[in-house]
Structures are given as structure tokens and as C-alpha cells.
């Protein structure tokens, strides 16, 4: 079976930056599953996996725009500590969920604390970096109707990977 849209694909990976440093890996753990064609992984990697088969191994080097995007300075903002009501000790590298003016949920990371001035960054931590994925495809299967409806893979423990509507992830 080949990787095409609406297939659930599982793969092991090691992610390195331009300096060759390991940024993330699935080694020693379970392969990562995703729903192909549903934008569940970075676009450049999804494109590179199209047509591959179980057992295929490949190295995919991606420019920042095809990975986690270019760094956008407009997503960095200094806000008042008052916005973190109920949190006693705000520190760099803490992550928070916030709602945008349009009602979307986004994640921000604290990058600096200067008294009551908190610098937050809405960029992905790997934004602006060229990355290389070393990948081995371990499984390909047809997605279930529920996975197709929800737009992502449902695991054995739906509380962790699911999206709701009868399964706890909406």
C-alpha cells in the first residue's frame, strides 16, 4: 500500500537542525501516526512522504517555510503580568493557551520576564529553522470514517489523541 490521501501513516523519525543537533526523535518510543492529506504534519514532510511504502527510509531536508514556517516578529509581544491572573510565578519557556480576537485558540511561549512586563511569542519554537527529518515508514492503513470526519488519527486511548464528538476531543 502506498501513502496517499486518507491513509493513516505511522513512521519513526529523527529531527535535526542545520547544526546536526537532534531536536526530536521517536527512537525508543512508538512511531508517530498521522492522517495523510489532512495537514497533520509539516507540509514539506507530508509532500515528501506521498507515494512511499512501508519500510521506505528517507532523509527530508526542509526550508523553514516548508517546516514550521518563517519566524514572524509580529507574533512577539510584551504584555502585562496582569494577563496571567492566578499564576504566581511566570518564567521563561512556560507555554499558555490563549484565544485570539477571532475566537481561535493559539499557543504562546513566555520568552522573557522583566518585572511586570512579560514577552510572549506565538511562533512555533522551530519557526525560522531549516530542518532535516530522517524517516522510516512503519505502517500504512485506511483511515476510519470517524478519523476522516475528525481530520486526524484516533489512537487506542482516544482521550489522548481524539478530538471530541463522542470521543472526548471536541
> CATH number for the domain including 155?
3.10.50.40
Number of domains in the chain: 2
Low-confidence ranges of the chain (pLDDT < 50): 158-161, 165, 170
pLDDT at 122: 94
pLDDT in tens, 36-68: 999 999 999 999 999 999 999 999 999 999 999
Same domain, residue pair 11 and 55: yes
Residue 163 has what pLDDT?
52
Residues 54 and 106 in one domain: no
What's the pLDDT score for residue 88?
85
Beta-bridge mates of residue 119 = 78, 112
Residues 91 and 63 in one domain: no
DSSP state letter for 65:
G
Burial of 3 (C-beta count, 10 Å sphere; 0-12/13-18/19+): buried
Indicate whether 89 and 157 sit together in one domain.
no
pTM of the predicted model as reported, rounded to 2 decimal places? 0.80
DSSP secondary structure string for all residues of 109-163? EEEEEETTEEEEE-S-TTTT--EEEEEEEEEEEEPPHHHHHHTS---SSHHHH--
- Residue at 142 is within a domain: yes
Length of the chain equals: 170
Range of the domain at 148: 7-68+127-161
Amino acid at each position: 500500500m502506498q501513502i496517499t490521501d486518507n491513509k493513516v501513516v505511522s513512521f519513526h523519525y529523527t529531527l535535526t537542525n542545520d547544526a546536526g543537533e537532534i531536536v526530536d526523535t521517536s527512537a525508543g518510543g512508538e512511531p508517530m501516526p498521522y492522517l495523510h492529506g489532512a495537514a497533520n504534519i509539516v507540509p514539506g514532510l507530508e509532500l515528501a512522504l506521498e507515494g512511499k511504502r512501508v519500510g521506505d527510509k528517507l532523509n527530508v531536508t526542509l526550508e523553514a517555510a516548508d517546516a514550521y514556517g518563517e519566524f514572524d516578529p509580529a507574533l512577539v509581544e510584551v504584555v502585562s503580568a496582569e494577563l496571567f491572573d492566578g499564576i504566581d510565578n511566570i518564567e521563561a519557556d512556560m507555554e499558555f493557551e490563549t484565544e485570539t480576537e477571532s475566537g481561535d485558540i493559539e499557543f504562546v511561549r513566555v520568552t522573557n520576564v522583566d518585572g511586570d512586563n512579560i514577552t510572549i511569542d506565538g511562533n512555533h519554537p522551530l519557526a525560522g529553522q531549516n530542518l532535516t527529518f530522517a524517516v522510516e515508514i512503519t505502517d500504512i492503513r485506511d483511515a476510519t470514517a470517524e478519523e476522516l470526519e475528525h481530520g486526524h488519527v484516533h489512537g487506542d486511548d482516544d482521550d489522548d489523541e481524539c478530538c471530541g464528538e463522542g470521543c472526548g476531543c471536541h
